[in-house]
Every structure is written in structure tokens, then in C-alpha cells.
Structure 1
Amino acid sequence: MSASVSMPLGGVQVGSYDDYQQAQRAVDHLSDQKFPVENVTIIGSDLRLVEKVTGRLTWGRAIGAGAASGAWFGLFVGLLLGIFAPDGSSWIGSVLTGLLIGLVFGAVFAAVGYAATGGRRDFTSTSKTVAGRYDVMCNPQYAEEARAELARLSLRG
């Protein structure tokens, strides 16, 4: 027998909220009241992907972002190699060499990647998954206690 997403392993709904912060606040309230929260689950339903377009992607932005990313990685490698340098000047040389090589390789790989898209995605974006509703579910033996505590919370505002 498999568990349903809306009713996991015998759990019952004790609250339903429009956003995650409200559901989190409800579970935090239960925890503050010494309720055994290990019997509680928050389930997001009606999932959707929200992608926020942050700007236009150009050759300059693509190469610049790749160069910056490569420079950070190169700096990290240079610092690691610099640990084994026999003196201070070798350490600085290792760090700078790693930084420059990382910068160049990052820029080259970003340019190749951008060229490979062929202009099909000339924008930058961030994405996240959000739910339309968040249900607080609880083990049936604790459900009435959880509902009573959550009712007190809703009366407090």
C-alpha cells in the first residue's frame, strides 16, 4: 500500500495556509507549546514553477559572468597551491597564476556555451518552485491537540 501525497501515512490535516511562512509559523507555535512536532508534516500542494526574468543576456554579460566564475575558482586553486609554496613570492605567484588561468578558462567556456545556444535563450532568470497551498498534517493520535493549539494561534492573530 502506498501513501498518498495529500494524506501521508495516516496523517490528517490540522491546518491549511496560503504561504509557507504561515505554515512554518503554525509549526513553530506548536513547538513553542511543547507539542511533539516530530508528528507534523508540511505539504505544499498545487506546485508551480515561477521564473523571474532578470535581464538580457549578451555576449559581454555571458563572457563576463564566465570570467568572474572562473576567476573565483582559479583564486581558490591558487590559494590551495600557494599553501605549498616555499616562500612569500611563490605564494603570490601561485595565487595570481590561478586567478588568471581561471579567468581565461571561465571566459572561454562561457563563450562556447553561449554560442552553443544559438540565441534560443538570450535572457537571464532565477526560478523557484512555489505551492498554492501549504497543509499542516499530523499523526491522527495528536491531531485534536494540534487543531486546538492552532485555533488558539489563529485567535491571537
Structure 2
Amino acid sequence: MSMSVSMPLGGVQVGSYDSYERAQAAVDHLSDQKFPVENVTIIGTDLRMIEKVTGRMTWGRALAAGAAAGAWWGLFVGLLLGIFAEDGSNWLGSVLSGLLIGLVFGAAFGGMGYAATQGRRDFTSTSRITASRYDVMCDPSRAEEARAILARFSLRG
């Protein structure tokens, strides 16, 4: 009968940090010390999504956002088509036509998208995933060396 010990994903823990920036700084320090960082993994635990409400969604805002996005795409297409124009006036016409058509279609699609929600989401927001803890893991054969380097790093700052 063979016995095996399962190893956690990423190896063994050599450091634990309360922010991703601190874990990233620790791995950067390992790299600065010429440690082979290809043996290192950062694992975030206890993940949560944070959604920050940035404002109220209205018909005007939905139409304006759609029009702005459409105008950018229309400008891009107009510039591409303008490359093939024979003279300057046709180039300007292609760019302006693309811009206006994009603006109109963007506003229409922005309005349709807002209407499709039927008032169930009348706000705008941004979201991000964060973890409560970030563990720096390392291959077991290099773990002691990494721990020693990170111990000196934590004493510095």
C-alpha cells in the first residue's frame, strides 16, 4: 500500500498578505534577489465581488453612452474607408458619414439595450473581484530559500 501526501495547489506557503499589491511586491522582491520566480504562485482566497454603484441610469444617459460608443466605431470605419478615397473631400466625407451613422446606430442600440432591462437595473456600476488574503506559494524544493528572502524583505518595511 502506497501512501501519499497531497500538496496544495501552487506548492507550500512562503508568505501571506492582506492585499494583492503586497503579495506582488513580495514576488517582485524575490525576482530582484534572482530567485527563480517561475516556481512561485499567488493564490487569492475568500474571493468576493465588489460592485460600486457609480450613478443612475436614465434614458438620456443610455442614449448618450450608446451614441458615444457608436460614434467611435463610426469614426474608425470612416477612417478605414477614407483611406481608399481618391481626394481629400471624399476622405472627409467618408469620415463624417461614418461618424454620423455610428452615432445614430449607437444611440438606437443604447436605447434598445436600456429598454430591454425594463427598469430592472436603473443604475451604472463598476465591479471587481478581491480576496481577503493572498498567499505566496512556492515549489517545496525552493520554499526555504524563498521564506528566508521574504523574511528579510518583511524586516525592511
Measured against the shorter chain, the TM-score band is over 0.9
1:85 and 2:71 equivalent? Answer: no
Secondary structure of the equivalent of 2:53?
A: strand
Q: Distance in 2 between matches of 1:151 and 1:28?
A: 14
Deviations 1:101-126 (A, max 9, x none): 00000000111111111100000000
| Equivalent position of 1:41 in the other structure | 41
- Please give the TM-score of this superposition, normalised by the length of structure 1: 0.95
Q: Alignment RMSD, CA only?
A: 1.1
Taking the aligned partners of 2:149 and 2:20, their CA distance within structure 1 comes to: 18
Measured after TM superposition, the shift of residue 7 of structure 1 is 1.5
Q: Corresponding residue for 2:67?
A: 67
Q: For 1:52 and 1:138, how far apart are their aligned partners in 2? A: 34
Aligned residue for 1:46, secondary structure, equals strand
Give me the whole-angstrom Cα distance separating, in 1, the residues matched to 2:21 and 2:129.
Answer: 15
The one-letter code sitting in structure 1 at the alignment partner of 2:20 is Y
What residue in structure 2 maps to residue 7 of structure 1?
8
How many residues are aligned here? 152
CA distance in 2, matches of 1:70, 1:144: 55
User: What fraction of aligned residue pairs are identical, expressed as a percent?
Assistant: 78
TM-score normalised by the chain length of structure 2:
0.95
Displacement of 1:14:
0.2
Per-residue deviation, 1:39: 0.2
Which runs of no fewer than 5 residues in structure 2 stay unpaired? 1-5
Partner in structure 1 of residue 28 of structure 2: 28
Deviation at 1:8, TM superposition (A): 1.3
What does residue range 126-141 of structure 1 map to in structure 2 within 5 Å?
A: 126-141=126-141
Structure 1 runs, 4 residues or longer, greater than 4 Å off: none
Q: What do residues 70-127 of structure 1 show as CA deviations (whole Å, max 9, x unaligned)?
A: 0000000000000000000000000000000000000001111111111000000000
